[in-house]
Structure 1
């Protein structure tokens, strides 16, 4: 069966878009997007600069696509690992979530190392729109976690503000852990210590959380 011209064009366009995303990740290994030009990306892919605009409006829009790509699979994986019996009480089920979440995070950082390097760098030094997109994605992670926490009996009397505070503590710890794992690259023992410290920190947070009671004014 002969491939239709439309189909082949669509496939070529998708391959080129993928090549642009991959080239941007590689080129931004040592620098932020603010120092990257679309001409550099186009040259790396082997297309003319005007060809870049068939896929992205600017380097900034390319960065936004990378942010979406970087967070999508991580959020899905963390949603799965948080699924526990909603009637569970005590520290044990929460400790299991912590251990599994940290293990998932370590594995995901290894599998998507370039994406995590991109997020770690652009979170502080990227274009304003990209920094805001990263902040928004982290906030979405916090909201999703707060929603899951609200389903547990122990948090039933908690205020929404306290749920968001706890989810913020957990997500901020996970972000810091991912960045520490990146810094420990090639040093297995250092990485093991990072993961162990993350587990300990999160367990300590949860021990305190299980004893927390929202004040009437919260």
Structure 2
């Protein structure tokens, strides 16, 4: 009975923590994360300020948790790309599809990253930059297996990986700004993403590392 009660308390704690994070995302979408206060977040989440401190030591820690949660979607995109790393066209087509669908599912998180990476607090901006660097490194592992790249230096693989990530971030931001239900605009973004990635790929054979 004690274990059940413990599990119940843990589940409730998890729900409260998520409610605080959801409240922060909602408020940040209106005012920017750096402009909202702990009390505003607590009020929006329906908890007292003291309850906030049971989950986060500060607003900076809350911001870091939001960054980590937001990038979990990007990590899933890497796993999608790893499904068939030997067929380049499949990777490009899958990446464009997964990009748009992932943003649609986690629009508020992508909007948070898009906004805060240029206008957020120093702590949040640095965390986003760090996560993007990790994403570049993870993608580089996939790219290093592709034809014409396997002999490249580590620095050059990282360089082309960063090009792909910047492309993905740019297109993700376009999806965030696209009105919901506009599948025609989503298809345009997918097509543009495919063309941009193929343009990068065209330089693979000519590049001498």
How does the TM-score come out when normalised to structure 2? 0.92
Counterpart CA distance in 2 for 1:102 and 1:119 is 19
Counterpart CA distance in 2 for 1:183 and 1:144 is 27
Aligned residue for 1:23? Answer: 23
**Residue 208 (structure 1) aligned with residue 183 (structure 2):** no
Equivalent residue in structure 1 for 2:145, among 146, 151, 162: 151
Residues 25 and 184 of structure 1: is their aligned pair in 2 closer, same or farther, counting only changes over 3 Å?
Answer: same
| Aligned residue pairs, count | 208
* Structure 1 residue 201 displacement after superposition: 0.7
Any idea what the Cα deviations from partners look like across 1:96-128, whole Å, max 9, x if unmatched?
211100100100100001111111111111111
Aligned residue for 1:75? Answer: 75
Taking only aligned residues, the RMSD between alpha carbons, in angstroms, comes to: 1.7
Q: Indicate if the aligned counterparts of 1:185 and 1:191 stay in contact, CA closer than 8 A.
A: no
Counterpart CA distance in 1 for 2:3 and 2:157 is 54
Residues 6 and 83 of structure 1: is their aligned pair in 2 closer, same or farther, counting only changes over 3 Å?
Answer: closer
Aligned residue for 1:118? Answer: 112
Any idea what the Cα deviations from partners look like across 1:191-218, whole Å, max 9, x if unmatched?
222221111010010011133221xxxx
Aligned residue for 2:193? Answer: 198
Structure 2, unmatched stretches of 5+, are none
Counterpart CA distance in 2 for 1:34 and 1:136 is 19
Counterpart CA distance in 1 for 2:205 and 2:79 is 21
Structure 2 SS opposite 1:155: coil
* Structure 1 residue 188 displacement after superposition: 2.9
Structure 1, unmatched stretches of 5+, are none
How does the TM-score come out when normalised to structure 1? 0.89
Any idea what the Cα deviations from partners look like across 1:30-54, whole Å, max 9, x if unmatched?
2211101010111112211111111
1:152-167 → structure 2 map (5 Å cutoff): 152-167=146-161
Structure 1 SS opposite 2:31: coil
Aligned residue for 1:34? Answer: 34
Counterpart CA distance in 2 for 1:213 and 1:83 is 28
* Structure 1 residue 153 displacement after superposition: 4.4
Counterpart CA distance in 1 for 2:64 and 2:96 is 26
Counterpart CA distance in 1 for 2:4 and 2:140 is 48
**Residue 51 (structure 1) aligned with residue 46 (structure 2):** no
| Larger Cα-atom Rg | 1
Counterpart CA distance in 2 for 1:122 and 1:49 is 24
**Residue 104 (structure 1) aligned with residue 83 (structure 2):** no
* Structure 1 residue 23 displacement after superposition: 0.9
* Structure 1 residue 4 displacement after superposition: 4.5
Counterpart CA distance in 2 for 1:133 and 1:115 is 14
* Structure 1 residue 182 displacement after superposition: 1.2
